[in-house]
Amino acid sequence: MTIEQFVGEVDAYIRWYNEKRINISLGSLSPVEYRKSLGLIIKSCSTFYPHPHRLSSAWKPTT
């Protein structure tokens, strides 16, 4: 397994954990479904916080 494959697998797991897993404390909804039910989601998180490996070379964080 290459580093890129490993990072991709970890990224996929983190996205599943944060966005899709069912959570009993959220009324058996996934975190995204729960936020949608509250009207808190407009765009996906990746729109606001792109994965660092997917950023263009022109993008630079502001400090």
Residue 49 banded pLDDT, cuts 50, 70, 90:
low
List the domain range (segments joined by +) for residue 25: 11-38
The residue type at 18: N
CA dihedral 41, 62, 14, 35 (to 10 degrees): -10
The domain tally of the chain equals 1
CA dihedral 60, 15, 17, 12 (to 10 degrees): -120
Q: Is residue 32 part of a domain?
A: yes
Q: Is residue 17 part of a domain?
A: yes
Residue matched to tokens 């990746």: 46
User: In this predicted model, which residue has the larger pLDDT, 12 or 42?
Assistant: 12
Q: Is residue 59 part of a domain?
A: no
Predicted TM-score of the model (pTM): 0.51
Q: Is residue 55 part of a domain?
A: no
Q: Is residue 19 part of a domain?
A: yes
Q: Is residue 56 part of a domain?
A: no
Q: Is residue 23 part of a domain?
A: yes
User: In this predicted model, which residue has the larger pLDDT, 18 or 7?
Assistant: 7
Q: Is residue 4 part of a domain?
A: no
Q: Contact, 59 vs 46, CB < 8 A?
A: no
